[in-house]
Each structure stands twice: as C-alpha cells, then as structure tokens.
C-alpha cells in the first residue's frame, strides 16, 4: 500500500499566518504540523509516500522532508495547481499509484491513540473496499458525517449537513483499495466545484464496501485548521509529552520503532536536532537501544 499526504489549500482560516507559510508547515508545539499525519501513515507500515501541495509551497516541503531517507521512507512530490477537492489527490497521483491500494492523510489532522498502529495495520491489510475513521464531535455540521442504523452499520455519508443526523465526523484519514483512482475519475464536481471525498466514500458505501471504524474515548482527533484548534493541538501535544515523556507525531521515533531505521541512524538525527528537547528524547531512545 502507498500513501498520499495532502498538504495543499490556501489556509484562509489561519490568515495572516498562512500568507507567509503553508498551514501544514506551521508548528504544532515542537514539530511542523505535517509531521503528525506523516507519522500516522508510517504507523500503518507505509513507506512509499507522495506529498501533494501548491506550486508555491512544494519547495518548502522538499526542504523539510527531503527524499524521505531520514525516516526510512521514500517521498514523491506532486503539485495541486488549485484546491479542487480532496478526491483530486487520486487523480494527481494516479500514475504513481499504478493501480495499488492507497491511504490518504490530510496534512492538518492529528490522530493519537495507544492502539492506533493496530487499527491502521488492520485497515491497510483489508483487500477490498475502503476504511474511514469516525469520531464524535459537538459540531458535526463542519465535517463529513456518517450515520448508522440500529445495528451500528453505516447507512449514510453527508458533507457538512445543515441538519446532521449523527455527531460522528469522518476524520482526515482514509484507506482505499486499488479501485480508488478509477472511482475518483468517475465522480463529478460538487456545487462548490470540488471533487468531494464524501462522494468518493458514498460510492464505496453504496457498494457495501465502506468500513467505518469508530474511534473510542481513548483516542484524540484534532483538526488544526483554525487558530483555536491549532492552539488546542499544540496544548494537547505539550501535555502528553511533558506528562508521560512519550513523543507524539515524531516521524524519527516512529521510523525507529517500526524498524525503518536503526539506532545509529536515529542517533545521527538526534545529534542534528542539537540541544532541543526533541533531540534529547531521541538520543535517549537510541542510546537505550544500544545499551
């Protein structure tokens, strides 16, 4: 399975900050925002990743991430000339995907849970259909929403409903089988002129191949797309890391724990992070493995 990291858009809800930098390059506590969804894809065991961004922002992502070898993965880069919908990512990446299954992570989403890797690996191993993750929210009208019948089966997906029939929002993490590019090519732009990811999910739902995983209370999902949610995400990461000593959304750590890089490589990266707290924790992790 391959992965697409969508880091486009103009970030208008975060102006004026995003007049100078991509939203996904803004800091969420001690790491760039894009590190968090990148870590999520890596936790699913994905090593081939395409990052899609705007023509102006793509060079900055290249500078930050390079070819991916630092994390034991391989990066490809592609341009989204204009923000024409999330599902457009599968048209942009169609040739690169070459008929393989794909996971898509939105560049401003943070998902954290102790058992997250298990959920992700199960989703990536599912040979047919699509898997999305749902999370209960107070303001479902802001999101794509999934509704369930009395038996807990998904029966409806709606984009930003005016009168939501459910408070289960679909998070910015999606797993699709090898048919996804063909399905994306078949859907039509919505009234706002975008290829909606909800319309793509509806195709799988109508084929009875949409699997919905409900994220429990032990999980956290944060969409860092507004000033308030950006601050909340930073506070969440700072609290978890300072209280537990465990890192959140650190691709170097994930790469090491997943076996993508060894202790020597991790030590090298920790050294380059200098006297930062992040560098110190990574060095302790590398030295502990070597002891």
- Can you tell me the distance from the alpha carbon of 174 to that of 170, in angstroms, rounded to the nearest whole number? 9
Instruction: From residue 2, give the alpha-carbon distance in Å to each of 49, 74, 121, 125, 200.
Output: 6, 10, 13, 12, 18
Q: Look up the pTM and report it.
A: 0.95
* pLDDT value of residue 289: 60
Would you tell me how many other CB atoms lie within 10 Å of the CB of residue 29? 18
Cα–Cα distance, 144 to 146 (Å, whole number): 7
Q: Which residues contact 17 (CB under 8 A, 6 or more apart)?
A: 11, 23, 26
Predicted pLDDT at 145: 96
How far, in Å, CA of 125 to CA of 103, rounded?
11
Q: How many residues does the chain have?
A: 291
C-alpha distances in angstroms, 250 versus 119, 234, 265?
Answer: 19, 14, 15
Summarised one tens digit per residue, pLDDT across range 166-186 is 999 999 999 999 999 999 999
Distance CA 107, CA 65 (A): 14
User: Which pLDDT value is given to residue 271?
Assistant: 94
Q: 3-state SS of 116-132?
A: HHHHHHHHHHCCCCEEE
| pLDDT tens, the chain, 291 aa long | 999 999 988 788 889 988 888 999 999 999 999 999 999 999 999 999 999 999 999 999 999 999 999 999 999 999 999 989 999 999 999 999 999 999 999 999 999 988 899 999 999 999 999 999 999 999 999 899 999 999 999 999 999 999 999 999 999 999 999 999 999 999 999 988 899 999 999 999 999 999 999 998 889 999 888 999 999 999 999 999 999 999 999 999 999 999 999 999 999 999 999 889 999 999 999 998 654
């Amino acid at each position: 399975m391959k992965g697409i990291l969508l880091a486009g858009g103009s970030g208008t809800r975060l102006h004026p900050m995003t007049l100078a930098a991509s939203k996904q390059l803004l800091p969420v506590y001690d790491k760039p925002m894009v590190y968090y969804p990148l870590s999520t894809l890596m936790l699913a065991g994905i090593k081939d990743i395409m990052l899609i961004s705007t023509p102006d922002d793509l060079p900055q992502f290249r500078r930050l991430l390079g070819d991916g070898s630092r994390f034991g993965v391989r990066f490809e880069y592609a341009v989204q000339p204009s923000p024409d919908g999330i599902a457009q990512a599968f048209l942009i990446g169609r040739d690169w995907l070459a008929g393989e299954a794909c996971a898509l992570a939105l560049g401003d989403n943070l998902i954290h849970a102790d058992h997250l890797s298990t959920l992700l690996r199960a989703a990536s191993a599912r040979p047919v259909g699509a898997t999305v993750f749902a999370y209960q929210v107070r303001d479902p009208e802001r999101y794509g929403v999934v509704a369930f019948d009395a038996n807990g089966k998904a029966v409806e997906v709606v984009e930003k409903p005016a009168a939501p029939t459910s408070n289960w929002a679909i998070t910015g993490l999606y797993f699709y089988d090898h048919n996804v590019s063909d399905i994306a090519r078949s859907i039509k732009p919505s009234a706002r002129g975008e290829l909606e990811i909800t319309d793509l999910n509806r195709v799988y739902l109508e084929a009875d191949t949409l699997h919905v995983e409900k994220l429990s209370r032990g999980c956290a999902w944060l969409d860092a797309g507004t000033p308030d949610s950006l601050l909340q995400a930073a506070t969440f990461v700072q609290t978890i890391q300072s209280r537990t000593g465990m890192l959140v959304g650190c691709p170097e750590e994930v790469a090491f724990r997943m076996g993508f890089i060894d202790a020597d490589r991790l030590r090298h990266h920790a050294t380059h992070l200098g006297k930062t707290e992040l560098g110190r924790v990574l060095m302790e992790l590398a030295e502990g493995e070597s002891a």
